[in-house]
Chains A and B, each alone.
Chain A
Amino acid sequence: MKNPKLKNWLILIILFAFFIVIISNIDWWQRALHFLFRDIENVIYPRVPLIAMLGEHLKLVIISSGLTIITGVPLGIWVTRSSMRDFLDIINNLVSIGQTIPPVAVLALAVPVFGFGLIPVVLALFLYGLLPVVRNTIAGIQSIPEFVLDSAYGLGMSKMQALFKIEIPLSARLIMTGIRISVIINIGTAMIGAIIGAGGLGSAVIAGLVQDNVAYIMEGVVPAAFLAILTDRFFSNIESIFVYNQ
């Protein structure tokens, strides 16, 4: 295996297949959890099947992260345009203050404002997820040396051409890093969203904590950890495609 990138993708595919196989065989879970926790009678969370919880979790993360990406990247690009230069500092300032606020706090604050259920969680995840994406988009575009842009304009490129042919490709790697951080935070925070009634893998964990059932906790926790690691690897692999900066 000479190509390290190919190797990384292969590892990811194998892990993913492994994940799917494990997730779809609830019998294996039953046996494994029974073996580990002999004194617990019910080892499988009865309310919602594992597959459905995973589906809810993915739905939550995909909707909120999707919204984050389609608004965050353009927003980041927009504030770096020369007409918006005045606002760049205050947006940077707001974003860095925002990132200091813990995601749990944002999730908790969403309840008094928007109430309980799926929508407040999606909104909280979306808003908090914006911060790393906007921040990294700005950082990526600002990391491009002035002379590179000057020479692009010197070649007769219009502002639009410079944006799409120079600025976006050159900052793609940093933007992807921002997206990865944002999605990983969302996967984690979505677990806590179960308390607010958004469903997902967190519901088994919360039920396990309330009923003092370690097996339920495991059923929610292991797939969530797996999901986060898989997602992280996936985005890291995409990041390594964009090597212009290195």
Chain B
Amino acid sequence: MNLKSFSPDKIAISGCVLGLISLFPGWFILKPHRLSAGMSVNLPDSAGLALTILVGFLWMSCFVLSFAGKNDLQHAILGITADVILIFVFIFLSMASNNLDVKTHVSARVSPGAGFWLTMLSAYIVIFAAEKKLEDRLIIKNIITWTAPAVFLFFLFTRNLRNFSVVVEFAVQRQRFIQEFLHHIILVAVSVFFGSIIGILLGILAKRSKKARNPVFFITDISQTIPSLALFGLLIAPLSVISFKYPFLREIGIRGIGNAPALIALIIYCLLPVVRNTYSGLAHIDKSVIDAGKGMGMSKMQVFLKIEVPLSAPLVLEGIRISSVQGVGLTAVAALIGAGGLGWFIFQGLGQAAPDMILLGTIPIIILALFTDGVMRMIIKFTANKVKKQKDHNRL
């Protein structure tokens, strides 16, 4: 046998093996209401033996493909097969959720179990492996990536998942959810906005004046080290003292707990990544470039605006990316000091021992964090390309 042409894809194979194993543990947990422990159901009991075997067969074909796949077509089929498996998973979820006896229990619900999550992970691994082999086939790669999420959204909006636990919880608290979701986004946006402005200014200051450099880094460093809950707590005492002394502050909403300490703490947390990246962005600019600018008769302001700003922009934006992703998570903690946001559901859920409510807060936070990360990365890539083009243009 010619071993050179025979190159099994280790990642995809381990994904397939994991996928086959994941058929066995409990797939769904059926609960009559929010607080009950629920009953675990296996896939054959829930979806029927025939469909279970069909999914097993699909995993086996993935297995064969990842052993023998040689050309792009076969890699694409591998990815699409994993997509089909995911679509089956969603169908199973909607079947399980439609079969629930909702008439006897108004808030009956179905939660995904270990088997469900393991299958999702396995499919992710296989899709990742397939896309890695497909290198520069962008169109087919995008199709493979987005098919499953699109199908999931379709099921969600056609109300096929209406008894899925998180959806049930959402339906119960729709108004509150929308309100807290928007509030979360506003808190993050406002704090990242002001944090970035202050951070960029401090970064420029640190670059310009040697005297200021150490204190700026020292303070931002320490503030990043302090635990989030501790920083929120530290702000409560002074703010409540101040607001009692000057009642007009209370009227405009500045109190010991609530939005004021949350925003201040979030802005402080924002600083370090932005300050560091602004500083290193400016510090890494080649001296000769600035000298060339000066030699061309540029004023200090022109050197700053036309050379320093564009050249350091990608690094500064990278700092803002780190800050905003971090901010999405920290804002969740702010709910503890009464600032609201999606963290409210987490802590209410923890208080009432209601896992579905915890998920209602957690899942959007994770999606929001991943989304922010993705968008910021795209912006950074775009700016970096533009800067590079500018550089090449100048060279010509």
Contact = CB atoms under 8 A, between A and B. Distances in A.
13 contacts: A87-B10, A87-B11, A89-B128, A103-B329, A105-B332, A184-B225, A192-B229, A195-B347, A202-B229, A218-B234, A221-B234, A224-B229, A228-B230
Contact of A108 (B237, B328, B346): B346
Contacts of B10: 86-87
A48 interface: no
Nearest to B333: A104
Contacts of B11: 86-87, 89-90
Interface of B: 9-11, 14, 111, 125, 128-129, 132, 222, 225-231, 233-234, 236-237, 240, 256-257, 325-326, 328-330, 332-333, 336-338, 343, 346-347, 349-351, 353, 355, 358-359, 361-362, 365-366, 369-370, 373
A225 interface: yes
Contacts of A112: 111, 355, 358-359
Contacts of A103: 329
A116 B349 CA distance: 12
A229 B226 CA distance: 7
Interface string A175-217: 0000000001001110110011000001001101100001001
Taking chain A's interface residues, is the majority helix, strand, or loop, or is none over half, making it mixed?
A: helix
A1 interface: no
Contacts of A108: 346, 349-350, 358, 361-362
Contact of B233 (A100, A189, A195, A218): A218
A56 interface: no
Contact of A217 (B227, B237, B330, B343): B237
A206 B351 CA distance: 12
Given A100-B369, A108-B358, A196-B350, 11 more contacts: A37-B237, A102-B330, A102-B366, A105-B362, A105-B369, A108-B361, A112-B355, A112-B359, A195-B351, A205-B229, A218-B233
B231 A109 contact: no
Contacts of B128: 89-90, 93
Interface of A: 36-37, 86-87, 89-90, 93, 97, 100-105, 108-109, 111-112, 116, 184, 187-189, 191-192, 195-196, 202, 205-206, 208-209, 214, 217-218, 220-222, 224-225, 228-229, 232
A225 B225 CA distance: 8
Nearest to B345: A108
A205 B359 CA distance: 24
A106 B338 CA distance: 21
A184 B355 CA distance: 27
A37 B236 CA distance: 12
B346 A104 contact: yes
A101 B366 contact: yes
A90 B237 contact: no
Contacts of A208: 233
Nearest to A105: B362
A241 to B, nearest CB: 19
A90 B332 contact: no
B343 A104 contact: yes
Contacts of A187: 227
B369 A101 contact: yes
Q: Is the interface of B mostly helix, strand, loop or mixed?
A: helix
A89 B132 contact: yes
Among B111, B351, B366, chain A packs the most CB atoms within 10 A around the CB of B366
B13 to A, nearest CB: 10
A221 B361 contact: no
Contacts of B228: 188, 191
Contacts of B330: 102
Nearest to B114: A113
Contacts of A221: 229-230, 233-234
Nearest to A205: B233
**3 shortest interchain CB distances as A-B pairs:** A102-B329, A188-B227, A112-B355
Nearest to A91: B11
A218 B237 contact: yes
Contacts of A101: 329, 366, 369-370
Nearest to B369: A100
B16 to A, nearest CB: 14
B355 A214 contact: no
A3 B267 CA distance: 36
A100 B370 contact: yes
A191 B230 contact: yes
A220 B350 contact: no
Contacts of B350: 108, 111, 195-196
Contacts of A90: 11, 125, 128-129
